[in-house]
């Protein structure tokens, strides 16, 4: 099995292609490939900096990049550094949104870059909120509630009892934790709950 994987990689690398361009069907081959830890197997995000006029659509050079890496299983992102600098100078979210709309964009390139990088690395974010601070925590997609609790502190995972979960969209809709509770939208989840991107969580634990 490993010989087949090595042979496939040798052929690809000999042709100047990256290891990302080689696909394997069986789980055994995929595992053997991962265990090689080849540099060109790592996920890649190509970021193309364009002028302001092509911030929304890209240009012929962006298309050349897309064509060059089409077999790499890589992502191509278009940003305009000058536009991003102008957005950063604006004081209010409303002003920034108006600027983006005038440029034909829905969100800034910085936001899209962060989201793309998280997606490429299979990462997501949950949120904790209290009277002193609101904080975002990064976890691997597919993790369950106790694992995410352990991101905050290992004691949280060891003594995990349950998680109180508010969906981000529900919080935006109702405006406060109390209103979410009154609407019956607060979820009580156990050890098997798979945390979702944007969940607002309060962990109950006992050590």
Q: CA distances (Å), 15 to each of 8, 42, 66, 67, in order?
A: 11, 18, 19, 17
- In this prediction, residue 1 carries a pLDDT of 64
Q: Pick the residue with more confidence: 141 or 89?
A: 141
pLDDT at 148 over 90: yes
CATH of the domain at 158: 3.10.20.30
- In this prediction, residue 138 carries a pLDDT of 97
116 and 127 in a single domain? The answer is: no
96 and 145 in a single domain? The answer is: no
Number of domains in the chain: 2
Which residue pairs, CB below 8 angstroms and at least 24 apart, start in 172-181? 177/129
100 and 168 in a single domain? The answer is: no
Q: Nearest-CA neighbor of 197 among 121, 146, 139, 158?
A: 139
pLDDT 10s digits, 14-47 = 998 888 888 888 888 888 888 889 998 888 999 9
Phi, psi of 49, rounded to the nearest 5 degrees: -90, 120
81 and 132 in a single domain? The answer is: no
């Amino acid at each position: 099995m490993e010989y087949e994987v090595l042979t496939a990689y040798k052929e690809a690398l000999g042709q100047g292609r990256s290891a990302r361009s080689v696909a394997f069907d069986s789980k055994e081959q995929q595992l053997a490939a991962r265990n090689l830890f080849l540099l060109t197997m790592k996920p890649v995000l190509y970021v193309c900096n364009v002028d302001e006029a092509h911030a929304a659509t890209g240009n012929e050079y962006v298309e050349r990049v897309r064509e060059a890496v089409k077999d790499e299983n890589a992502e191509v992102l278009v940003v305009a550094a000058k536009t991003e600098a102008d957005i950063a100078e604006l004081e209010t979210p409303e002003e920034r949104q108006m600027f983006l709309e005038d440029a034909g964009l829905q969100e800034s390139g910085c936001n899209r870059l962060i989201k793309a990088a998280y997606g490429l690395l299979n990462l997501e974010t949950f949120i904790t909120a209290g009277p002193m601070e609101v904080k975002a925590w990064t976890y691997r997609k597919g993790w369950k509630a106790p694992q995410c609790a352990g991101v905050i502190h290992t004691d949280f995972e060891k003594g995990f009892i349950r998680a109180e979960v508010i969906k981000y969209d529900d919080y935006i809709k109702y405006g406060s934790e109390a209103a979410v509770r009154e609407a019956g939208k607060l979820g009580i989840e156990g050890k098997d709950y798979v945390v979702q991107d944007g969940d607002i969580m309060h962990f109950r634990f006992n050590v």
